[in-house]
């Protein structure tokens, strides 16, 4: 029997492959959301490099270490 044929007809292997495909799809969606968020933030911050700073380090009351 062809080894590829035997693998394709083993239900436990089929479900393992399906779970992996679902994992990859979810990871791709998450990566796309992160890319969109990064682009969104970059667009929102555009031009602020030259803006007057409202706060400085001396405004910090409590510092975490």
Q: What is the DSSP annotation of 34-55?
A: HHHHHHHHHHHHTTGGGSPPS-
Structure tokens at 61: 């009351």
Compute CA 2 distance to the chain's CA centroid, rounded to the nearest angstrom.
39
Q: Per-residue confidence of the chain (65 residues) as pLDDT tens digits?
A: 556 666 666 778 888 889 999 999 999 999 998 898 889 988 988 888 888 888 888 888 887 87
Structure pTM?
0.47
Taking a C-beta distance cutoff of 8 angstroms, is the pair 38, 46 a contact? Answer: no
């Amino acid at each position: 029997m062809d080894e590829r044929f035997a693998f394709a007809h083993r239900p436990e292997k089929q479900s393992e492959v399906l779970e992996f495909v679902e994992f990859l799809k979810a990871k791709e969606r998450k990566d796309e959301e992160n890319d969109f968020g990064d682009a969104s933030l970059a667009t929102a911050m555009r031009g602020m490099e030259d803006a007057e700073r409202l706060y400085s380090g001396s405004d910090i009351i409590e510092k975490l270490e």
